Amino acid sequence: MKLLDLGRAWEALEQDRNPFSMVVMAHLKTQEVKDGLERKRWKLHLVRLLLERGYDRKDILELFRFIDWLLALPKGLEIEFRQERMALEEEKNMPYVTSGERLAKEEGALEDAREMVLEALAIRFKSVPEDIASTIQAMDSRAVLKTVHRQAISCRTLAAFRKTLRLSA
C-alpha cells in the first residue's frame, strides 16, 4: 500500500490513534497543500488532533516537532500559527510547556534581573550593602527590578539609590 492510497482513507487516518497516522497525515498535507494559509489551517488541525488523542506529553512534543518541520510556514504565518496554537493549548489546557517549567523559567528570569541590579550597583559604587542586597533578592517583579536597575545605573550616590529603593519596594 502506498501513502497516497492512505490519503483516500483520510477519515480513517483521523480516527486512528496510532501516532504513525499523524505522520502520514502531515506528509500527505505537505504534498497536497502549497498555499500558506491553507497549510496553516491544516497544521492547526493536526495539532488539535494531537491534543485530543491523549498522547503523553513526550509523544505530543515529538510529533509536533515533526509536523512543525514538515508543514513549514512563511514567517508571518508562522507567527500567526504560534499564537493560534497557544490559544488552542490553553483551550485544551495542554500547554507544550508545563506550568512547572514555565515557573522555573520565570524564576530564572527574576534571578537574572536581580543579578543585573546587583552587578550595576557593584560596578557603580564598588560594593553593595547587605540591606540593599537582601531587599533586591526579595523582589519578585521583573517590572520593579527593571525600574530598580535603571535607578542603579542613574543614581549619583548610594544614598540616593537607597531612597528610590524604599519607594520601589
Structure confidence by residue, pLDDT tens digits, 72-94: 888 888 888 888 888 887 777 66
User: In the chain, what are the domain boundaries?
Assistant: 3-92, 99-168
| 108-165 confidence digits (pLDDT tens) | 888 999 999 999 999 999 999 999 999 999 998 888 999 999 999 999 999 999 988 8
Buried b (16+ CB within 10 A) or exposed e, 34-70: eebeebbebbbebbebbbebebeeeebeebbeebbee
